[in-house]
Amino acid sequence: MIAWHSSMTLISRAQNFEDVILSRALKHVNGDFYVDIGAQDLLIDSVSEAFYRNGRRGVHVEPIHFCCERLRIARPDEIVIEGAVGRGSANTPLYEFEEAGMSTGKFDIAETHRLNGHTVKKIDVQCMSLTELFLNYTDGNVHWMKLDVEGMEQAVIESWSPASATAREFALENFAYEKFRDRLCEVFIPSKN
């Protein structure tokens, strides 16, 4: 546990303590608003749960129906988008691992999971760009954004226009940061964030 904005306590549920790191980075910010792309479970490995419990609100994007339903029931005062973020706005095929509550748009990742004994189901979900997400579901003042999309990071980041809103802090799976550092800098630096 750590102190939250000096008067509250944070119990981390995030896989790599991303919630702890984000709360420290934003300790002087009031009214945190977040965007959680690849939200998955509302408790297990959740980056947003501690923020929600301490009065912050945000937008969740998750393609798995039962995960969205759990979020909608537990957090009726937040926006939950059942879909994906990436290039284009048409339906996009995803591979769902039903017993794990995870999904990916990458066939090779899905095949690896299938070979490891997971049941894989192909589904189609609505897809929007990150620019559309910011313009339609935020007021442009996003304090942090988490991106955990199982190999689809490039499509999400490339759908982000520097002219749209940006986030003060950005959490991305470790393996993807080096690959997309230049694009992230291109989006963050023009807005001076």
pLDDT over threshold 70, residue 166 = no
Q: What is the pLDDT of residue 3?
A: 42
pLDDT over threshold 60, residue 173 = no
Q: What is the pLDDT of residue 53?
A: 84
Q: What is the pLDDT of residues 144-159, one digit of tens each?
A: 888 888 778 888 888 8
pLDDT over threshold 80, residue 95 = yes
C-beta of residue 84 within 8 angstroms of C-beta of residue 125? yes
What is the rounded CA–CA span in Å between residue 174 and residue 170?
A: 12
| Of 137, 61, 138, 59, nearest in space to 92 by CA | 61
More confident: 76 or 181: 76
Mean pLDDT, range 115-131, rounded to an integer: 91
What is the rounded CA–CA span in Å between residue 81 and residue 133?
A: 10
Mean pLDDT, range 112-140, rounded to an integer: 90
% the chain with pLDDT above 90? 22
User: What is the average pLDDT value for the chain, to the nearest integer?
Assistant: 78
Mean pLDDT, range 6-20, rounded to an integer: 64
Q: Where are the beta strands (DSSP E) in the chain?
A: 2-4, 8-10, 33-37, 57-62, 79-82, 84-85, 91-97, 102-104, 120-128, 141-147, 166-172
Burial class for 181, CB neighbours closer than 10 Å (0-12, 13-18, 19+)? exposed
pLDDT over threshold 80, residue 106 = yes
What is the rounded CA–CA span in Å between residue 187 and residue 159?
A: 11
Q: What is the pLDDT of residues 55-88, one digit of tens each?
A: 889 999 999 898 999 999 999 999 999 999 998 6
Q: What is the pLDDT of residue 8?
A: 55
C-beta of residue 19 within 8 angstroms of C-beta of residue 47? yes
